[in-house]
Amino acid sequence: MTMPTTQCPWRMQVHHIQQETPDVWTLSLFCHDHYSYQAGQYALVSIRNSADTLRAYTISSTPGVSPFITLTIRRIDEGVGSQWLTGEVKRGDYIWLSDAQGDFICEDKTTDRFLLLAAGCGVTPIMSMRRWLAKNRPQADVQVIYNVRSPKDVIFAEEWKNYPVTLVAEVTNQPGFIEGRLTREILAAVPDIASRTVMTCGPAPYMDAVEENVKALGVTQFFKEKFFTPVAEAATSGLKFTTLTPAREFYSPVGTTLLEALESNKVPVNAACRAGVCGCCKTRVVSGEYTVNSTMTLTEREIAEGYVLACSCHPQGDLVLA
């Protein structure tokens, strides 16, 4: 089987698939070579083993603990990647992954006092790190708060029985859960919260609320991961963008990336890593001033022709796009 793209050089075989919740599955993958990663990182997956469609997923397994490389994926309506991985891929199939990426990790944190917070599928890097801490820093004081819609939506439900965890469900009458949403009162009940390193993953509004509340409680070491980049409302003034094919004009506030400008105006663009790594959001700028903080995956010729990675392009004025 030929590698679909140099960005995803790791061929892995699906060993088995486990359903976690009504809409979440874990794919356990066997890699014939040593695949190096850190707890909390993510990888790009070549969807349908194609070079044109890449999607980023957290590696939910833990190095040195898990026997397989695992991806835990929520099936999303109209989700090209999740529909394929959770509905069509079967045991024995091969899929291709990139090198592990991302700096949302606990291994580089010197503290032994953590508060890990997750909502929904944001629990995947949190569980990966929780296992790592249990194995490599058994002396660590680790508190976990996990928010879900209902008890049936708890991912890794059986495994959480191995670790202390506070479960918060929006709707429940089941023992063992706090009913409602995460509040400052729940956070304030965490012993010595101000002295802890706080790490959180989940939807953007959830993480914003966590950040506001823990900082109000004196937390200074705060780290968050993002599964999805929130799309801003389309602007009616600011920087002007003109696309030549098809002809169109739209605006975006000063300070946004080119990717944010495109997405907020519903201009079609592929985006996976959103970190200037995968190359999915390659876009050609015909004219205008801009700066970039990544040209990874772009050739010298492409750069000379005005191609940029939209997620890493910072417009300095009006732009004309091909």
The pLDDT value recorded for residue 15 is 98
* 121 and 31 in a common domain: no
Strands (E), 59-207: 69-74, 94-97, 113-119, 141-148, 166-169, 177-179, 197-202
The pLDDT value recorded for residue 231 is 58
The pLDDT value recorded for residue 227 is 52
The pLDDT value recorded for residue 252 is 92
Q: Does any domain span residue 296?
A: yes
Pair type for strands 282-287 and 319-321: antiparallel
The pLDDT value recorded for residue 276 is 78
Strands (E), 48-165: 54-58, 69-74, 94-97, 113-119, 141-148
* 157 and 52 in a common domain: no
Q: Does any domain span residue 105?
A: no
* 72 and 18 in a common domain: yes
Show the domain range for 267. 239-321
Residue where a domain terminates, one of 67, 97, 127: 97
Q: Does any domain span residue 20?
A: yes
Return the ∠ at Cα 92 (arms to 156 and 101), rounded to 5°.
Answer: 55
* 149 and 217 in a common domain: yes
* 38 and 75 in a common domain: yes
Query: 161, 180 in Cβ contact below 8 A?
Result: no
Number of structural domains (the chain) is 3
**Which residues partner with 287 through β-bridges?**
320
Q: Does any domain span residue 106?
A: no
Query: 150, 176 in Cβ contact below 8 A?
Result: no
Domain with residue 123: its CATH number is 3.40.50.80
Residue where a domain terminates, one of 39, 69, 97: 97
Q: Does any domain span residue 131?
A: yes
| Ranges in the chain, pLDDT < 70 | 226-232, 272
The pLDDT value recorded for residue 60 is 98
Element (DSSP H or E) covering residue 216: helix 204-216
In angstroms, rounded to a whole number, what is the distance separating the alpha carbons of residues 188 and 225? Answer: 22
| Residue among 75, 192, 59 nearest 131 (CA) | 59
* 143 and 59 in a common domain: no
The pLDDT value recorded for residue 270 is 78
Mention every residue, 6+ apart, whose C-beta is less than 8 A from residue 190. 115, 143, 145, 196
Q: Which residues of 132-164 are buried (b: 16+ CB within 10 A; e: fewer)?
A: bbeeebeeebbbbbbbbeebebbbbeeebeeee
Q: Does any domain span residue 232?
A: no
Pair type for strands 177-179 and 166-169: parallel
Query: 74, 121 in Cβ contact below 8 A?
Result: yes
Query: 168, 177 in Cβ contact below 8 A?
Result: yes
The pLDDT value recorded for residue 232 is 66
Backbone angles phi, psi at 235, to 5 degrees: -95, 160
> In one letter, which amino acid is 194?
A
Residue where a domain terminates, one of 34, 69, 97: 97
Instruction: Check residue 196 and report its DSSP letter.
Output: S
The pLDDT value recorded for residue 78 is 80
* Whole-number CA gyration radius for the chain: 21
Question: In terms of C-beta density within 10 A (0-12 exposed, 13-18 middle, 19 or more buried), how is residue 221 classed?
Answer: middle
> How far, CA to CA in Å, does 62 sit from each of 28, 95, 128, 130, 135?
12, 19, 5, 9, 10
Domain with residue 55: its CATH number is 2.40.30.10
Q: Does any domain span residue 252?
A: yes
* 121 and 222 in a common domain: yes
* 296 and 258 in a common domain: yes
Q: Does any domain span residue 247?
A: yes
Can you give the pTM of this predicted structure? 0.78
The sign of the CA dihedral 277, 282, 284, 287 is negative
